Chains A and B, each alone.
Chain A
């Protein structure tokens, strides 16, 4: 652990694979910028890889004041032990006050290893981060300008705000898709701080034998409109209606976990606490009862149309348009109405 350091910077781990920057660190730059401005400290990206210096400029455009750059042939492929060793060293050397990671498979593998080595606190899967103060009621002791780490817990039934006032850095992983992408500013240049890395083969705990990354079949986060179906759709055949409506709206098809588990559609389409978080302009929820776990992934949609045969379905509680009826009749009506208007 490092001591409390109010002058410490705000850091964002710049996750990249094969020299390609992931989306989640970019999303984190906008929130990181906001936190750093409030604390009046610099925002820095932490970039590790084989040869990745080409990404520094873009990180600057997205708002980083600094980029800590660690390049080494043994950092070319992400590995827990080597990445953790380098970042542990950087944290001990520069003493940042906040270190943020995307809650991607990589971030969720790496951040806990680092937090454990630093004996620091870590909050997983945050959906929001703020700066605020905390008072210990029993002693009246107050801590100002702490990172408030906000996350759903208990299967999404509660929202917990977590703090860490004494064992720094304050660390969090942040869910993908919950922070807006910053608009790049090409005038913004980051100062690059090159760090010399000492690694040997013995720092690699595993050997990567093979890897396969496929493109996601659907990009839910980038879709303006999403048409999603739940278990209430009833069958894979009926789920074709979801695809049809999505096609005529230029929308992406989404689904609840239940619909995915029933085999109606591929897991790439899953929205909710264990899937993708989305906030489209329009969300059509068909045959979705509205379990809290699903709502956690879509309740920020600007407009919600809910179609359900059960008038008591919880989804209606957050819907702008409530349609009580059989989706196999309602969806064709919608398709007809849209085709006629267009």
Chain B
């Protein structure tokens, strides 16, 4: 979309961009089996995908790397299965991937998630933190700003374009509901990216072939459960030597304060979940003939709906 990004000459040797990515259920493709009878979501029946707006954040980071050098680290929080989105990030060109996974992360709301992510980001010491504006499972748009607050960094939300990047200064264009705004900020900063920012790249075949065996330790452990001949340590070591081991961090490694993680760290609780069944009101079928349409219009005029 932005074929000619007006970037200025680089005066800084490279940026370390950390991209926060999330694996989400594909809520656009929800079918009957995806909802349990009690109205809760049957996550197992939903295909898991790379959160769409995070792909745009990743693309923005890769674009920065292409123009200025540096590196891109993709970070996800989730079960070992979430390593799938990190592999996708590697396919697209991310240099390294980190999975934050720990049973004690379960039931984290946006506040606890942001706290945990901020602990991970701190370890990476980035120049720029990017994430999608929001994730399609919750649509909250809270994790970006909350992570920025936890890191005590400036936040620039709804970024559509980075206009200039010069040393520790950045000018970005934000897309607002009914217009735009151009802001200047110092780095490091946290950016949330909208889906009109760019066209995410398609992974190159060579890179895809190279990275498709990348795994995190948890995935290798799951393989070993099914096949006892798999030696977890040996496989990890081999992948690591090829740069294909997705790093796996737990809360102890992050030195996270457990009172701010998981259920305990989450002030919001679910009171009730209802599945949406919009009630069918009394429906009148109108066979489309001119006379029938006229009768319908007449009814609407009589009851003052139109006219």
**Which residues from A are CB-within-8-Å of B28?**
155, 293
- How extensive is the interface on chain B, given as a class? 35 or more
Known: A116-B111, A209-B183. A163 touches B139 (CB 8 A): no
- Please tell me the size bucket of the interface on A: 35 or more
- In the complex, the chain A residue whose C-beta lies closest to that of B277 is A317
A337 touches B178 (CB 8 A): no
A109 within 8 A of B: yes
In whole Å, how far is A241's beta carbon from the nearest beta carbon of chain B?
A: 14
A94 within 8 A of B: no
Q: DSSP class of A's interface residues: helix, strand, loop or mixed?
A: mixed
* Cα(A233)–Cα(B124), bound, Å: 50
CA gap between A119 and B178 in the complex, in Å:
31
Contacting pair A165 B305 (CB below 8 A): no
Given A161-B272, A329-B288, A337-B294, also A1-B267 (CB < 8 A): yes
Most B-side CB within 10 Å, residue of A132, A215, A338: A338
Could you tell me if A211 and B180 are in contact, using CB atoms closer than 8 angstroms?
yes
Contact call A216/B155, Cβ cutoff below 8 A: no
B149 lies within 8 A of A157 (CB):
no
| Chain A positions within 8 Å of B158 at CB level | 105, 109
Give residues in B with beta carbon < 8 Å to A.
Answer: 25, 27-28, 30, 34-35, 39-41, 109-111, 114, 136-146, 148-150, 154-158, 171, 176-186, 189, 260, 266-276, 278-290, 293-294, 296-298, 300-301, 305-307
Partner-B contacts on A (CB < 8 A): 1, 80-81, 84, 104-105, 108-109, 111-113, 115-117, 119-125, 132, 134, 148-149, 152-167, 205-216, 225, 249, 273, 281-282, 292-293, 295-296, 299, 302-303, 305, 316-325, 329-330, 333-334, 336-338, 340-342
Given A165-B269, A319-B281, A340-B294, 16 additional A-B pairs, CB 8 A:
A112-B110, A112-B146, A113-B149, A115-B146, A116-B114, A155-B136, A159-B273, A161-B272, A161-B274, A162-B268, A211-B180, A303-B300, A321-B283, A334-B293, A341-B294, A342-B307
A–B complex contacts, Cβ < 8 Å, 17 sampled: A80-B154, A84-B149, A148-B271, A153-B139, A156-B276, A158-B35, A162-B268, A164-B267, A206-B184, A207-B184, A209-B182, A303-B300, A320-B284, A322-B284, A322-B285, A337-B294, A337-B297
